Structure 1
């Protein structure tokens, strides 16, 4: 793989956008999780980075699932939004299942009283909102980056 091919790989842009967007989100939502109470700053930063890397993996898994569903790694550039809906759905499914396991049997973290939860699932609203809002931003950033910053949607040669 040459340098130009690597720099135009949608996975690279998905990963970069996911890291920066999810890092900020994870930082903002720390008051909603018990594990951050009375925790040293350095430990909080490490936990946020670990959570962010997990979010990047979820984004890549959702991206590759969408790529398989539409038979193209460049679905993000196509007019048909099937890939986006698969991306969003897979990311949401993984998130809800992992939150359920992490707050339940695995006991990795818990919610503070400030975390609103979904009535039927008991999943926190913040992680669910994260996988609705951030994929929309990610889609916009990655599409724009792959199009070379073009506003009109046409590749710049």
Structure 2
């Protein structure tokens, strides 16, 4: 699952790079790698939170619509928290092209990344391991 999450998040980081203020090339490559690794960690945190809620560390075997809703809730909370903290600590800043989530003042693209990519990672991992 880590490899799947890494690839998906690395692609996403590169695709939405134009929505952030510019950094020099060296810093940008460090940011992409660091952010990708951070996103993989967040994927595992989401997995763990869902495991706690469901009281089942192997919940991915039974991934269904009910579990998907729990994953969406956990991923949304983790995403909101992580992006808000990163912006407040000035880890990065958005340029004028970044759509912002109303009332939350966080970027839509990074917010969605920590919702969409973990779900895709879980679905792919389940298909690979349990098929």
Whether TM-score is above 0.5 comes out as yes
Q: Does 1:52 align with 2:23?
A: no
Higher relative contact order, chain-length normalized (CA < 8 Å, sep 6+)? 2
1:21 aligns with 2:5: no
Task: Assess if the C-alpha contact under 8 Å between 2:43 and 2:114 holds in 1.
Answer: no
Please provide the CA RMSD for this pair: 1.8
Query: TM-score w.r.t. structure 2 length?
Result: 0.88
1:38–1:100 CA distance, 2 compared to 1 (3 A):
closer
Higher helix share: 2
Q: Are 1:145 and 2:128 an aligned pair?
A: yes
Structure 1 unmatched runs, 5+: 1-12, 151-157
Matched residue of 1:18: which SS? helix
Aligned to 1:98, which of 65, 78, 82?
Answer: 82
Aligned length: 131
TM-score (norm 1): 0.75
CA contact (8 A) 2:79 2:115 kept: no
The residue that corresponds to 1:10 in the other structure is none
How far does residue 27 in structure 1 lie from its aligned partner after superposition? Answer: 1.0
SS in 2 for 1:86: helix
